[in-house]
Amino acid sequence: GEDVEQSLFLSVREGDSSVINCTYTDSSSTYLYWYKQEPGAGLQLLTYIFSNMDMKQDQRLTVLLNKKDKHLSLRIADTQTGDSAIYFCAESGGYQKVTFGTGTKLQVIP
Amino acid sequence: NAGVTQTPKFRVLKTGQSMTLLCAQDMNHEYMYWYRQDPGMGLRLIHYSVGEGTTAKGEVPDGYNVSRLKKQNFLLGLESAAPSQTSVYFCASYEGWDTEAFFGQGTRLTVV
């Protein structure tokens, strides 16, 4: 079945850039997503990219997609303490469901 | 516009007890999903529904049942709770499978 993998933890200093990586196995993925989960809350969509795109920028967020390697990354510029959360990569490509990764916990050190 | 509402928010069950988790959405979405979230394992799909009256198994369906009698509600049942079902449960709804998912706030279930 589909599989989405992420590293579990990332620690950065406030003001630095954060890069969260994700790999997926489903070659038919059409949409790839980044969700953010703050403590005690559900997931909220941050951004998404369509599979025919290489890059998408949205304010401090940059998503890069390497479709050949099935690699997705989320870069957060000028990381703030409010960015501390768990970030989930997800993909959808068929079978009427979305597959989520394990989540990467981002810790921002003041 | 409430979005996706889950009830209850917290519950403690004894092994062998049963319970039903309710997910309600007011966005007229066709697709509804139940996930469980465990440390280091991300979100795993339990069951999902692509429309009123339909249900399908996800990645980890054993020990759970679901029903979608009304489009706006998706119920998750545990017939005989086990400690392995201690988890945080999230419901999500989608307009279509390739669109944004809207999540509920989660139900923290502990089985002792």
Residues B93 and B14: their CA atoms lie apart, in Å, by 29
Nearest residue of chain B to residue A9 (CA atoms)? B40
Beta pairing class for B56-57 and B42-49: antiparallel
- CB-based contact, A8 to chain B, within 8 Å: yes
pLDDT computed for residue A96 by the predictor: 61
Q: Nearest 5°: CA angle at A90, between A85 and A92?
A: 160
CA of B97 to nearest chain A CA: how many angstroms apart? 5
CA of B79 to nearest chain A CA: how many angstroms apart? 25
Tokens of B31: 């697709």
User: Does the distance separating the beta carbons of A92 and B98 come in below 8 Å?
Assistant: yes
A98 → closest Cβ in B40, B101, B104: B101
The answer to whether A20 touches A74, Cβ cutoff 8 Å, is yes
pLDDT computed for residue A3 by the predictor: 84
User: Does the distance separating the beta carbons of A44 and B97 come in below 8 Å?
Assistant: no
pLDDT at B111 > cutoff 60: yes
pLDDT computed for residue B61 by the predictor: 96
pLDDT computed for residue B94 by the predictor: 85
Residues A88 and A103: their CA atoms lie apart, in Å, by 4
A42 → closest Cβ in B59, B90, B100: B90
pLDDT in tens, A17-28: 999 999 998 877
pLDDT computed for residue B17 by the predictor: 97
Strands (E), A1-110: 4-6, 9-13, 18-24, 31-37, 43-50, 55-58, 61-66, 71-76, 85-94, 97-100, 104-109
pLDDT in tens, A61-101: 999 999 999 999 999 999 999 999 999 999 886 656 788 89
pLDDT in tens, B1-36: 579 999 999 999 999 999 999 999 999 999 999 999
pLDDT in tens, B34-52: 999 998 778 899 999 989 9
pLDDT at A34 > cutoff 80: yes
pLDDT in tens, B62-106: 999 999 999 999 999 999 999 999 999 999 998 876 677 889 999
Beta pairing class for B10-13 and B107-111: parallel
- The residues pairing with B34 across neighbouring beta strands, listed in sequence order, are B47, B91
Round the average pLDDT of chain A to a whole number and report it. Answer: 90
A97 → closest Cβ in B4, B45, B103: B45
Residue from B29, B97, B108 to probe the interface with A (highest A Cβ count within 10 Å): B97
- CB-based contact, A81 to chain B, within 8 Å: no
Tokens of A67: 């479709």
